[in-house]
């Protein structure tokens, strides 16, 4: 797991153990239910509460499987709160154009084009190194992406051009990470994930277009699907572990559904017309 994930797990586990009125070994399902009520009273979001439950459940799984303690896992099935399943939000083509027109810094243009055209996550862009770029093959090796997995993504011509323009103006430095802070006390150091997020928040406000780093990824996936790219191909490019995650895009890809419908219906109508003619004559 990533270091921040480990930190979050430990924090959530600590909150529960401090709250519990009984020793860890004596915690029962009712205690967990009471803890859920406490979190609800704090007005935590259902997704956040479920994250707490996951940490507790995995801790007890660890005690059973690794420490070989004879105890039951108090986080039983059915305790997790139901979550809404919103569709991934993407930008329309005119919004993409408006957003890109608002960007004036060549560094920022390169950053957001890599998200929009290559489907990179914000963490993956922040950690991208010079050696990861293979211009000869027009591809990027994404190392230790989500789930510590490596994958290859491809660079479109416009994204490659945006990156090349930035690299030509990038200061000469021994720093291997591509994107650097340009002002202030941290000038010359790698830009952070939060630093990139602040930049897109700035451009979102400037352009008046609701956009986030992850929405650019969603936009890339939707555009590929509408251009008839295979779902499995999109899964590989985005680095999704499960095809079900990628399939969510097919629920909002109206253009492809529209084309598929009319193409199939055209065949149906031709067949129907032929059969009708035969019956009539």
The two tokens of residue 260 are 């598929």
Which pLDDT belongs to residue 151?
87
Whether 117 sits among the annotated catalytic residues: the reply is no
The three-point CA angle 44-47-49 to 5° equals: 50
Q: Do residue 111 and residue 7 come from a single domain? A: no
Name the active-site residue from 146, 151, 177, 248. 146
pLDDT digits (tens, 9 = 90+) for 188-230: 999 999 999 999 999 999 999 999 998 898 888 888 888 888 8
Q: Specify whether 98 is located in the same domain as 207.
A: yes
Q: Are residues 122 and 185 in the same domain?
A: yes
DSSP string for 90-132: ---HHHHHHHHHT---HHHHHHHHHHHHH---HHHHHT-BGGG
pTM, 2 dp: 0.64
Q: Please tell me which residue in 89, 151, 214, 248 is annotated as part of the active site.
A: 214
Q: Give the model's confidence band at 81: pLDDT under 50 very low, under 70 low, under 90 confident, else very high.
A: confident
| Weakest mean pLDDT among 25-34, 97-106, 203-212, 218-227 | 218-227
Those residues whose C-beta lies under 8 Å from the C-beta of residue 33, and which sit 6 or more positions away, are 79
> Is 105 inside any structural domain?
yes
Tokens standing for 264? 């199939």
pLDDT at residue number 62: 93
In terms of pLDDT, which residue wins out, 12 or 45?
A: 12
Both 238 and 136 in a single domain?
A: yes
From 52, 199, 240, 256, the catalytic residue: 240
Catalytic pick among 35, 52, 249, 256: 249
Structure tokens at 94: 């005119």
What pLDDT, on a 0 to 100 scale, did the predictor assign at position 232? 84
Ramachandran angles phi, psi of 172, nearest 5°: -70, 120
Domain count, the chain: 2
Active site residue 218: no
Q: Answer yes or no: are the C-beta atoms of 250 and 234 closer than 8 Å.
A: no
- Domain match, 119 and 217 both: yes
The C-alpha angle with vertex 217 and arms to 215 and 221, in degrees rounded to 5, equals 115
Asked if residue 201 is part of any domain, the answer here is yes
CB 235 within 8 Å of CB 243: yes
Q: Minimal CA–CA distance to 165: which of 209, 114, 93?
A: 114
* Residue 208 region by backbone torsions, left for phi larger than 0, else alpha for psi between -120 and 50, else beta: left
Q: Which is catalytic among the residues 121, 127, 199, 218?
A: 121
Q: What are phi and psi of 154, to 5 degrees?
A: -110, 150
Q: According to the model, what pLDDT value does residue 88 have? A: 54
What does the alpha-carbon distance between residue 101 and residue 166 come to, in Å, rounded to a whole number?
Answer: 17
Q: Is 111 exposed, middle or buried (0-12, 13-18, 19+ CB in 10 A)?
A: buried
- DSSP code at position 180: B
Does residue 149 have an active-site annotation? no
In the chain, pLDDT over 70 holds for what percent of residues? 89
203 tagged catalytic = no
What confidence tens digit (pLDDT) does each residue in 241-272 have? 777 777 776 665 556 667 777 778 788 888 77
Domain co-membership, 133 together with 50: no
- Whether 281 sits among the annotated catalytic residues: the reply is no
Residue 134 and residue 247 in one domain: yes
CATH number at 162 reads 1.10.443.10
What secondary structure letter does DSSP report for 24? G
Q: Provide the residue range defining the domain that includes 61.
A: 3-65
For 247, the token pair is: 């399939």
Classify residue 235: in a domain, yes or no. Answer: yes
Residue 223 region, left (φ>0) first, then alpha (ψ -120 to 50), else beta? alpha
Quote the pLDDT of residue 273. Answer: 62
Mark whether 240 is an active-site residue.
yes
Q: Considering 12, 217, 218, 256, which one is annotated as catalytic?
A: 217
């Amino acid at each position: 797991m990533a270091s921040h994930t480990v930190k979050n797990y430990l924090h959530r586990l600590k909150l529960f153990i401090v709250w519990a009125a009984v020793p860890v070994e004596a915690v029962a399902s009712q205690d967990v239910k009471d803890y859920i009520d406490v979190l609800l009273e704090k007005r935590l979001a259902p997704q956040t509460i479920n994250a707490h439950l996951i940490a507790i459940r995995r801790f007890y799984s660890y005690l059973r499987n690794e420490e070989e303690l004879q105890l039951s896992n108090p986080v039983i099935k059915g305790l997790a709160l139901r979550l809404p399943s919103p569709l991934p939000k993407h930008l329309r083509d005119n919004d993409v154009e408006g957003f890109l027109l608002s960007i004036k810094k060549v560094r920022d243009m390169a950053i957001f084009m890599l998200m929009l055209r290559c489907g990179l996550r914000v963490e993956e862009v922040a950690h991208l190194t010079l050696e990861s770029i293979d211009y000869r093959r027009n591809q990027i090796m994404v190392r230790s992406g989500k789930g510590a997995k490596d994958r290859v993504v491809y660079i479109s011509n416009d994204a490659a051009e945006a990156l090349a323009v930035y690299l030509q103006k990038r200061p000469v430095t021994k720093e291997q990470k591509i994107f650097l802070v340009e002002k202030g006390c941290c000038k010359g150091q790698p830009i952070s994930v939060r630093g990139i997020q602040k930049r897109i928040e700035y451009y979102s406000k400037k352009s008046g277009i609701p956009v986030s780093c992850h929405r650019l990824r969603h936009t890339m996936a939707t555009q590929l699907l509408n251009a008839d790219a295979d779902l499995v191909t999109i899964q590989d490019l985005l680095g999704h572990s499960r095809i079900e995650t990628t399939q969510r895009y097919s629920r909002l890809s109206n253009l492809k559904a529209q084309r598929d419908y009319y193409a199939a219906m055209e065949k149906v109508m031709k067949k129907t017309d032929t059969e009708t003619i035969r019956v009539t004559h």
